[in-house]
């Protein structure tokens, strides 16, 4: 029977009673949330089975996206939207006196990810399901997330993110599909007719899968995110009342095993932490591959056709051990020869690089792999020898080159090299990033494998980052251009015709103001800070890191504050500077940056002399849910990394979709945003990537020159250590020294003047209301290109060799008149061919 409000209310009340044995009035919001999610789970289950069966019958190729993180965010609202019953449930609940908004807020953010890489993985799951492509995620079920950030006396304090405390209603435990993962032990080689490698004396850990349904948008497709939990094997658990020692040992053993999936990014500053991370990586890949192969075999397809039916994507190098693990399974378990196994493996795997920062390029000491994964070590060694042999044939005698490209060198296993050698495709995540990989970071590999490298500019789930989080803007879009943009995001271009329509602009302005008032309320209620809804909301929300240059933003605010103290009548548009982000626990300077922002906030926010012209807010525990509140309320999006260092950025895309104007450097996707919106609709400044890279090559620059020449910078830097702040004068000494005594690694001082100019321009532009609103419309209109639907379609066709049902309407354009829909588009030539062979009309 088709769901209607009455039926829904009956089902909801029935479920509430059976789950909690209470009347409606007696239940808490948390109980009502659990009731509603359980009901939605029931709706999903039936569709999930049907979706699985459909894939089986179609015999479709399956893609598995292996990632150490999936930052999926709250699920209730998205699931209701995807099922097409959001409004129905909202209205029906309202009739029962319940607010759906309130129930949505009772959901904890899942602690399965931390940053850009994890959120991107979640966005692709959304897109794949929306396009009915069989794409599934594989990750770990962390008992605790990265950490919950508390701000105490201005400092970041990390407390455990106990996100599973009240249970996770969206997971389905599949104990029957448990697999074992083996660690340690030794390898015995036996030879009868052929060599066999027997793994002995190992420790077994059970990997128990939990499946999370991933819903497509109103299309009945349900894919799966499989997250693995570590459990102790029973045979190692000996606990008799007669021997308490056994009991204690067994319990300790269980604890050690469970620690494997207990926390995301365990501290790896000590040896034990590193081992734990390596164990996590192998646990993820071994469990996932075993289950992928088991699934494949159930389809009764020949093993030598594996690469025709499955594709496995490695999200950064964390899951790169999947390559030797696949070789292990094919050779040791399936008894294939090396050459055949290798060909299949390379055809199956593809790898995305997400960062050029050297410290994030993973390396493992040989002995760690040897001890923990003895069979994988032999396989990696063999891969390395064969690869070095190829290198020798191509570059005889060039030992330096061979050493730098080898998988194993200097007693270390280089995971990026392993991932490149073992994949048929390697990609960067924005045009400039891919260029940097090809010409610098991975230049030697690009010369060796010229066709292996390609670009896939990131995209985000616009159904979450626009449709869901900005319902008023979505309604305005639907009224003005229809709702086709929800499935074909490039149709957002149709609103360009309203760019200069003052009635439309005013509607847009009212929506932004409403969103700002929601955020202002939250900040008032949670942090006790009152902010002016009519001030410019300027947001800088992302991981706290030197290269993301929160410090440059802070220095500019300090400079503005200095000007205002001298002249409280200074003519500036009032601004609220909003920061949010976590610092890695061991990253001292990033943690000091948080302390600096909070200290500045306390000084500025209470200074009545500047007449509330500027305010500073640091949002505690920045996560997906906070981003969902901040992004629709933002006027100015800070995207100011040191050029060349931000692989892509995805926050920039989410802000643009919601009508914020970017102030940014020429880096990552900022450049591609500029290419579609044009120079008039974005504010750029700063050194280019080439300038930064050249300066780096010549040992940097002298920051004292800037300090001595630019009075603004001198004043601000001195204020860090001269008692200006109500903290000890040593508090910010390490920050101060990082700029002047450690060469300003991220070119903050060098770019400051240009940044301050850009901020002035922005302030001027904001004064021209219609012009500003027109800029906002241009940004929203061109954001379709940055939907994950576009990116994933490119992956599907270019990398995974699949045939997605592409959206022919999805084109991109560089101009207002829709003239160059295809030419301005970053789509691959294959997609363009598909578009032309489908006779799609491109209007002029
Ligand atoms: C982050 C962290 C954070 C916690 C401590 C350990 C650790 C180690 C490495 C990293 C870097 C992870 C790589 C990453 O998230 N890269 C981001 O990927 C985004 C999606 O492609 C991209 O938009 C961002 O520019 C890039 O920084």
Q: Is the model's pLDDT at 252 over the cut of 90? A: no
Which residue's alpha carbon is at the smallest distance from atom 12 of ligand 1? Answer: 117
List pLDDT tens digits, range 53-71.
Answer: 998 888 889 999 999 999 9
Identify the band that residue 193 occupies on the pLDDT scale cut at 50, 70 and 90. Answer: confident
Alpha-carbon distance of 675 to 88, in angstroms, equals 41
Smallest CA-to-CA distance from 572 within 580, 562, 586, 582 is with: 562
Smallest CA-to-CA distance from 614 within 572, 579, 660, 580 is with: 572
**How does the average pLDDT of the chain come out, rounded?**
93
Q: What pLDDT shows up at residue 817?
A: 32
Query: May I ask the CATH architecture of the domain 59-74+109-423?
Result: 3-Layer(aba) Sandwich (3.40)
Q: Is the model's pLDDT at 344 over the cut of 90? A: yes
Sign of CA dihedral 508, 124, 797, 218: negative
Identify the band that residue 831 occupies on the pLDDT scale cut at 50, 70 and 90. Answer: very low
Q: Is the model's pLDDT at 540 over the cut of 60? A: yes
Token representation of residue 353:
């690089």
Smallest CA-to-CA distance from 810 within 794, 800, 799 is with: 794
Q: Is the model's pLDDT at 743 over the cut of 90? A: yes
Alpha-carbon distance of 473 to 465, in angstroms, equals 11
Catalytic one among 352, 642, 650, 791?
Answer: 650
- Identify whether 354 is a catalytic site residue: yes
Q: What pLDDT shows up at residue 807?
A: 47
Break the chain down into helix, strand, coil percent, rounded to 5.
55, 15, 30
Which residue's alpha carbon is at the smallest distance from atom 10 of ligand 1? Answer: 360
Q: What pLDDT shows up at residue 839?
A: 41
Q: Pocket around ligand 1: residues whose beta carbon is below 6 Å from it?
A: 114-117, 120, 265, 316, 354-355, 360, 429, 458, 584, 646-650, 668
Q: Name the class of domain 499-688+749-786.
A: alpha beta
List pLDDT tens digits, range 654-701.
Answer: 999 999 999 999 999 999 999 999 999 999 999 999 999 999 999 999
Q: Is the model's pLDDT at 795 over the cut of 80? A: yes
List pLDDT tens digits, range 695-742.
Answer: 999 999 999 999 999 999 999 999 999 999 999 999 999 999 999 999
- Report helix angle 748-767 to 769-782, nearest 10: 110
Do β-strands 62-66 and 135-140 pair in parallel, antiparallel, or remain unpaired?
parallel
Calculate how far, in angstroms, residue 137's C-alpha sits from the geometric centre of ligand 1: 18
- Identify whether 497 is a catalytic site residue: no
Calculate how far, in angstroms, residue 184's C-alpha sits from the geometric centre of ligand 1: 30
Identify the band that residue 810 occupies on the pLDDT scale cut at 50, 70 and 90. Answer: very low
Q: Lowest mean pLDDT: which of 86-90, 443-447, 840-844?
A: 840-844
Identify the band that residue 824 occupies on the pLDDT scale cut at 50, 70 and 90. Answer: very low
Which residue's alpha carbon is at the smallest distance from atom 7 of ligand 1? Answer: 360
Identify the band that residue 816 occupies on the pLDDT scale cut at 50, 70 and 90. Answer: very low
Fold equal for 59-74+109-423 and 499-688+749-786: yes
Calculate how far, in angstroms, residue 439's C-alpha sits from the geometric centre of ligand 1: 21
Q: Is the model's pLDDT at 205 over the cut of 50? A: yes
Catalytic one among 654, 712, 750, 778?
Answer: 654
Q: Is the model's pLDDT at 575 over the cut of 50? A: yes
Q: Is the model's pLDDT at 276 over the cut of 90? A: yes
Do β-strands 222-232 and 203-215 pair in parallel, antiparallel, or remain unpaired?
antiparallel
Q: What pLDDT shows up at residue 805?
A: 65
Identify the band that residue 561 occupies on the pLDDT scale cut at 50, 70 and 90. Answer: very high
Q: Is the model's pLDDT at 808 over the cut of 60? A: no
List pLDDT tens digits, range 449-467.
Answer: 999 999 999 999 999 999 9
- Identify whether 543 is a catalytic site residue: yes
Calculate how far, in angstroms, residue 104's C-alpha sits from the geometric centre of ligand 1: 28
Q: Is the model's pLDDT at 801 over the cut of 50? A: yes
Which residue's alpha carbon is at the smallest distance from atom 9 of ligand 1? Answer: 360
Secondary structure (3-state) at 422: coil
Q: What mean pLDDT do residues 778-801 have?
A: 96
List 661's β-bridge partners, or say none: 636
Domain ranges of the chain: 59-74+109-423, 499-688+749-786, 788-837
Q: Is the model's pLDDT at 827 over the cut of 70? A: no
Q: What pLDDT shows up at residue 194?
A: 85
Task: Quote the percentage of the chain above a pLDDT of 70.
Answer: 93
Q: What pLDDT shows up at residue 803?
A: 82
Calculate how far, in angstroms, residue 610's C-alpha sits from the geometric centre of ligand 1: 38
Q: Is the model's pLDDT at 603 over the cut of 60? A: yes
Q: What mean pLDDT do residues 439-450 have?
A: 97
- Identify whether 654 is a catalytic site residue: yes
Which residue's alpha carbon is at the smallest distance from atom 5 of ligand 1? Answer: 584
């Amino acid at each position: 029977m088709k769901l209607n409000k009455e039926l829904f209310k009956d089902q909801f009340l029935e479920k509430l009673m059976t789950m909690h044995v209470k009347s409606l009035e007696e239940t808490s919001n948390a109980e009502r949330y659990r009731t509603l999610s359980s009901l939605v789970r029931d709706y999903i289950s039936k569709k999930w089975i049907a979706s699985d069966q459909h894939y089986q019958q179609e015999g479709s190729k399956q893609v598995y996206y292996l990632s150490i993180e999936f930052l999926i965010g709250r699920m209730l609202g998205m699931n209701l939207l995807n099922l097409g019953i959001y409004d129905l449930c909202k209205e029906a609940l309202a009739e029962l006196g319940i607010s759906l908004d309130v129930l949505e807020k009772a959901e904890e953010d899942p602690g399965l990810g931390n940053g850009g890489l994890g959120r991107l993985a979640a966005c692709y799951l959304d897109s794949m399901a929306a396009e009915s492509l069989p794409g599934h995620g594989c990750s770990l079920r962390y008992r605790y997330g990265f950490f919950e950030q508390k701000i105490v006396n201005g400092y970041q304090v990390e407390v455990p993110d106990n996100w599973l405390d009240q249970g996770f209603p969206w997971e389905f435990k599949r104990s029957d599909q448990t697999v074992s993962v083996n660690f340690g032990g030794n390898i015995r080689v036996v030879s009868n007719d052929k060599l066999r490698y027997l793994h002995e004396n190992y420790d077994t850990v059970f990997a128990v899968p939990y499946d999370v349904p991933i819903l497509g948008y109103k299309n009945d497709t349900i894919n799966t995110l499989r997250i693995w939990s570590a459990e102790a094997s029973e045979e190692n658990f000996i606990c008799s009342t007669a021997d308490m020692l056994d009991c204690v040992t067994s319990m300790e053993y269980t604890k050690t095993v469970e620690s494997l999936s207990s926390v995301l990014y365990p501290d790896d500053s000590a040896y034990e932490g590193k081992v734990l991370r390596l164990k996590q990586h192998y646990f993820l890949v071994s469990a996932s591959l075993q289950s992928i192969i088991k699934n494949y075999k159930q389809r009764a397809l020949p093993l030598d056709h594996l690469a025709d039916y499955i594709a496995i994507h490695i999200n950064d190098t964390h899951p790169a051990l999947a390559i030797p693990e696949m070789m292990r399974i094919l050779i040791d378990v399936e008894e294939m020869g090396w050459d055949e196994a290798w060909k299949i493996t390379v055809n199956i795997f593809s790898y995305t690089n997400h960062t050029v920062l050297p410290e994030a390029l993973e390396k493992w000491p040989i002995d760690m792999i040897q001890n923990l994964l003895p069979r994988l070590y032999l396989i990696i060694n063999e891969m390395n020898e064969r690869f070095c042999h190829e290198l020798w044939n191509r570059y005889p005698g060039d030992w330096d080159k061979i050493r730098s490209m080898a998988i194993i060198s200097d007693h270390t296993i280089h995971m990026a090299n392993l991932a490149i050698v073992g994949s048929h495709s390697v990609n960067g995540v924005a045009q400039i990033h891919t260029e940097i990989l090809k010409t610098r970071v991975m230049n030697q590999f690009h010369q060796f494998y010229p066709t292996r490298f390609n670009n896939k500019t990131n995209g985000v789930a616009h159904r979450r980052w626009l449709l869901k989080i900005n319902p008023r803007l979505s309604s305005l879009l639907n009224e003005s251009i229809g709702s086709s943009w929800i499935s074909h995001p490039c149709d957002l271009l149709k609103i360009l015709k309203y760019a200069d329509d003052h009635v439309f602009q005013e509607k847009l302005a009212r929506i932004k103001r409403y969103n700002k008032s929601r955020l202002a309320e939250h900040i008032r209620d949670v942090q006790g800070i009152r902010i002016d809804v009519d001030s410019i909301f300027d947001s800088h929300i992302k991981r706290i890191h030197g290269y993301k240059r929160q410090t440059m933003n802070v220095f500019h605010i300090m400079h503005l504050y200095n000007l205002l103290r001298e002249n409280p009548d200074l003519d500036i548009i009032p601004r609220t500077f909003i920061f949010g982000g976590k610092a890695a626990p061991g990253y001292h300077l990033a943690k000091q940056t948080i302390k600096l922002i909070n200290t500045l906030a306390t000084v500025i926010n209470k200074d009545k002399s500047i007449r509330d012209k500027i305010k500073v807010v640091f949002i505690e525990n920045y996560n997906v849910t906070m981003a969902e509140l901040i992004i629709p309320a933002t006027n100015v999006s800070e995207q100011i990394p040191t050029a060349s260092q931000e692989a892509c950025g995805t926050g920039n895309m989410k802000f643009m979709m919601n009508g914020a104007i970017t102030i940014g450097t020429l880096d990552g996707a900022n450049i591609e945003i500029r290419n579609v919106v044009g120079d008039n609709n974005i504010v750029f400044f700063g050194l280019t990537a080439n300038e930064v890279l050249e300066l780096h090559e010549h040992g940097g620059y002298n920051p004292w020159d800037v300090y001595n020449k630019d009075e603004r910078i001198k004043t601000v830097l001195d204020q860090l250590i001269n008692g200006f702040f109500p903290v000890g004068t040593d508090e910010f000494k390490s920050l101060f020294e990082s700029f002047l005594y450690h060469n300003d690694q991220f070119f903050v001082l060098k770019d400051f003047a240009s940044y301050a100019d850009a901020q002035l321009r922005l302030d001027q532009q904001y004064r021209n209301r219609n012009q500003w609103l027109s800029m906002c419309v241009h940004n929203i209109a061109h954001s379709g290109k940055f939907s994950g639907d576009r990116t994933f379609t490119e992956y599907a066709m270019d990398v995974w060799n699949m045939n997605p049902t592409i959206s022919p309407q999805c084109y991109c354009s560089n101009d207002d008149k829709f003239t160059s829909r295809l030419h301005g588009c970053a789509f691959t030539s294959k997609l363009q061919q598909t578009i032309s062979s489908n006779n799609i009309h491109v209007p002029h």
